[in-house]
Amino acid sequence: MAVEKGRGATLNGESRRFNLPERQEDGDWLDAAEAIDGPRGRIRTQVTVERPRTIIARNASPDIAFSQSINAYRGCEHGCIYCFARPTHAYHDLSPGLDFETKLFAKPDAAALLRAELAKKNHVVSPIAMGTNTDPYQPIEKDWQVTRQVLEVLVETRHPTFITTKSDRILRDIDLLADLARDNLVAVMISVTSLDPKVARTLEPRAPHPERRIAAIARLAQAGIPVSANMSPIIPAINDHEIENLVARVAAAGARDINYILVRLPHEVAPLFRAWLDEHHPDRAGKVMAIISDLRGGRDNDPNFGSRMKGRGVWADLIRARFIKARRSAGLGGDRLTLRTDLFRPPEGAQMRLL
Identify the three-state secondary structure at position 163: strand
**What average pLDDT does the structure give for the chain?**
88
The pLDDT of residue 185 is above 90? yes
Domain residue spans in the chain? 43-261
pLDDT tens-digit readout, 132-175: 889 999 999 999 999 999 999 999 999 999 999 999 999 999 99
As a whole number, mean pLDDT of residues 176-194 equals 98
The pLDDT of residue 113 is above 50? yes
The answer to whether 21 touches 14, Cβ cutoff 8 Å, is yes
H/E stretch holding 203: helix 197-203
Higher per-residue pLDDT: 178 or 268: 178
The answer to whether 151 touches 129, Cβ cutoff 8 Å, is no
At 283, the pLDDT band (50, 70, 90 cuts) reads very high
pLDDT of residue 91: 85
- CA pair distance 256, 221, nearest whole angstrom: 9
**Alpha-carbon dihedral 183, 184, 186, 192, rounded to 10 degrees:** 140
Give which of 167, 166, 176 is closest to 142, Cα–Cα.
167
Give which of 54, 106, 49, 113 is closest to 75, Cα–Cα.
106
pLDDT of residue 99: 95
pLDDT of residue 144: 98
The pLDDT of residue 24 is above 60? no
Higher per-residue pLDDT: 18 or 126: 126
pLDDT of residue 43: 82
Higher per-residue pLDDT: 91 or 355: 91
Q: By CB neighbour count within 10 A (0-12 exposed, 13-18 middle, 19+ buried), where does 126 fall?
A: middle
The whole model's pTM is what?
A: 0.87
The pLDDT of residue 351 is above 50? no
CATH topology of domain 43-261: TIM Barrel (3.20.20)
Higher per-residue pLDDT: 354 or 252: 252
